[in-house]
Amino acid sequence: MTDEEQARVQKYLRDKFGNTHITLRERPQADGSVEVYIGEEFVGIIYKDDEDGDVSFDFNMSILEFDLPDMPGPGG
């Protein structure tokens, strides 16, 4: 992913989610993808897909079950 693409995707995410704390950071071990952070918290990875000349950027966010909040049961 080029620096320009990274900057454009970061701006898109900031505008879409209304959060200026979203940053994209390079992954030295993997070309074509960047890490997504909100502040200092890692939240996912964006992969560049350039298949057949159609470019897209796929955001992958894994949510661990133990990170989910408890929800009240029915009625409460």
**Do the beta carbons of residue 5 and residue 18 sit within 8 Å?**
no
Q: For residue range 33-71, list pLDDT tens digits in order.
A: 999 999 999 999 999 999 888 999 999 999 999 999 999
As a whole number of angstroms, the distance between CA 63 and CA 20 comes to 22
Please indicate whether residue 31 or residue 42 has the higher confidence score (pLDDT).
42
Q: What is the pLDDT of residue 76?
A: 53
Q: Is the pTM here over 0.75, yes or no?
A: yes
